[in-house]
Amino acid sequence: MKISKSSSHNLKPKTEGVIVLPTIHRRPWYFKVVIASMATLLAVALLLLAVRLLSADRFYPGSSLYGVSIGGMTKSEAVDKLKAETTAYGQSPILLSTNSAVWRIKPAKIELKFDIEQDIQRLFSIGRSGDFLTQGVETLRLLIGQTQPLEATYSLNQEKLAETLSEPIEKISSPTTNALFRSDNGIVSVEPGAVGKRLDLGGLNYALLNSISTLSHGPVDLPIANIKPAISEEALASHQTELENLATNPLILVDGQQEWKITTDNLLSWFSLPTQSNPPTVASSRLLNDYYRLGEKSADFSFDKKAVSDYVASLAKQVDGSPVNATLGLAEGKVVVTKEGTNGRKLDVEASANSIFSALKDSAADRRIALVVETTKPEIRTETLDSLGIKELVAEATTTFPGSSFARLTNIRVGSAQFNNTVVKPGEVFSFGERMGEIGPEQGYLPSKVIGEGRVNNEYGGGMCQVSTTAYRAALLAGFPILERVSHSFAVEYYTEPYGVPGVDAAVNYPGVDMKFRNDSGHYLFIQTEMKGSTLTFRYYGTKTKSGVIRGPQFISGNLDPKIPSQTVFWRDVVVDGKVVKTDTINTWYRSSLDFPAIQ
């Protein structure tokens, strides 16, 4: 064969024995992973879509509530099933246990109620709410059983639960015992405390929730908390040396010639220790979380300033003394001081306690501590005399009692002397019985006639009504308000003059019967008494701001015969600057003297 030159350059040399194949490009490994993942996701998506379509009005497979499977059920079917299960659950007790005992709680007794409708709605919303991805994840977790079980929505009566738990709490609980300081002949030692036990109510509520949420009857292990003492042996031991040093070199309180040594027992009583908190007894009226708190804070130890102050205050009876007013008298018609009074003493508890408290903290401080005592001056003394307002005669009243026995005259003399030089403060209520004091032979009184308890008898102090009547009349004439006054049971001749008619009298049988008036003059009142023969006079000195005018008395019924019951009335006009500003009407009723036979 002939080959032309023009085509000879297109010929390729032949390679003998070699076969040339076409080039093949391999795909990377991750491409396969992506394809497989997409296929899986597609399968899952299809599965979820199928589940969603098939369970449009039913619970997804894997759904359960209270430990009861309700997958594939409608809401109404699930409600019926759960009601049946919870009703059956309520028929049997929930068991509570410790290593040594078992207690039973009846669900009906604690009024346990489930909110099935709410829990149904919560469970049905799983896989149906949120974005598409969230729904898919939740649905898938339901299908593979990895969804967290819903906690049951339930209610119970906490007070009823408290009653039910009363026995286990009492059985389990033991009080913490704080470490204590002891003193034996001034030597301080520490007595160890002990750990207490209490039912952990918080843990119990959590355990009950888990049990009730799965309709389990238990047994539920009762959680027990160990409670350390608030005051440990170690904490006290760190202060033991401090107390021993104070006991060895004691503080001594000083007031003049009096001294008080601070003993070890005093120091221990001042040492501040927290209040012990013991497990309480369960009461049905309280909720569980009110019973006690778990976990006590460690105590901060120090001396209690209030305890120190209380101790100082207890010394006041030995330190304090009331001031004694000056004794007043009349000299040439003028009130003068006849005897100076004496100053009083008042323990300054706070300042003294501060001095002691400082010395307790400073071992180098002086061990002898002078109590701080204030001097209190009497109200009535020479320098205050002019300010008392005792400058003139305010009122004067006189009664007569001719024919009185020696005993009666003696009693009037002794009794009236009790009121001589008496001072009544501005605004003070004058009580005749309180000022009179004890009546008996020790005071110089003799037995004389007294009206009382439906008879006339001889008693010590008979005749003191003459004194109270005189004081009453002076108070009327001074215009003072009468706060308490009782007439005699029947008309007595001694109290008729100078009016000629009975009714201006005031009986006294303290404390049952008293005569009282108020010094409303705004100034001090000074009382002077004077007895001459069978005449007694009360004089009130002060600042005269008003006066009293007596009109009457007059009979409304009866007459001067004391054997006949009678009624009298008189009026007391209170006059200020010549004008009547008030009128008091005083009625008096007398019984027959025959109603009060004399005891021989």
| Inside any domain, residue 113 | yes
Per-residue pLDDT, 556: 97
Across 170-307, the runs of DSSP E, i.e. the strands, are 180-184, 187-191, 196-199, 220-221, 224-227, 252-255, 258-261, 271-272, 302-303
Under-50 pLDDT residues of the chain = 1-11, 15, 276-298
Show which of 360, 384, 408 is a domain's final residue.
384
- Quote the tokens at residue 66: 């209270």
Show which of 384, 399, 434 is a domain's final residue.
384
| Inside any domain, residue 16 | no
Overall domain count for the chain? 4
Per-residue pLDDT, 600: 58
Q: Are residues 66 and 130 in the same domain?
A: yes
| Inside any domain, residue 487 | yes
Q: Are residues 409 and 344 in the same domain?
A: no
| Inside any domain, residue 567 | yes
| Inside any domain, residue 367 | yes
Q: Are residues 441 and 537 in the same domain?
A: yes
Q: Are residues 400 and 374 in the same domain?
A: no
Q: Are residues 421 and 554 in the same domain?
A: yes
Per-residue pLDDT, 106: 87
Q: Are 65 and 79 in contact (CB under 8 A)?
A: no
| Inside any domain, residue 24 | no
Q: Are residues 585 and 548 in the same domain?
A: yes
Show which of 250, 276, 303 is a domain's final residue.
303
Q: Are residues 482 and 585 in the same domain?
A: yes
Q: What predicted TM-score, i.e. pTM, was given to this entire model?
A: 0.53
Domain boundaries, position 363: 319-384
Supply the DSSP string of 398-411, one letter for each residue: EEE-TT--HHHHHH
| Inside any domain, residue 551 | yes
Distances (CA, A) of 19 to 23, 154, 237: 13, 83, 102
Q: Are residues 236 and 278 in the same domain?
A: yes
Q: Are residues 139 and 196 in the same domain?
A: no
| Inside any domain, residue 561 | yes
Q: Are residues 395 and 375 in the same domain?
A: no
3-state secondary structure 420-483: CCEEECCCCEEEHHHHHCCCCHHHCCCEEEEEECCEEEEEECCCHHHHHHHHHHHHHHHCCCEE
Amino acid identity, position 363? S
Q: Are residues 212 and 360 in the same domain?
A: no
Q: Are residues 257 and 203 in the same domain?
A: yes
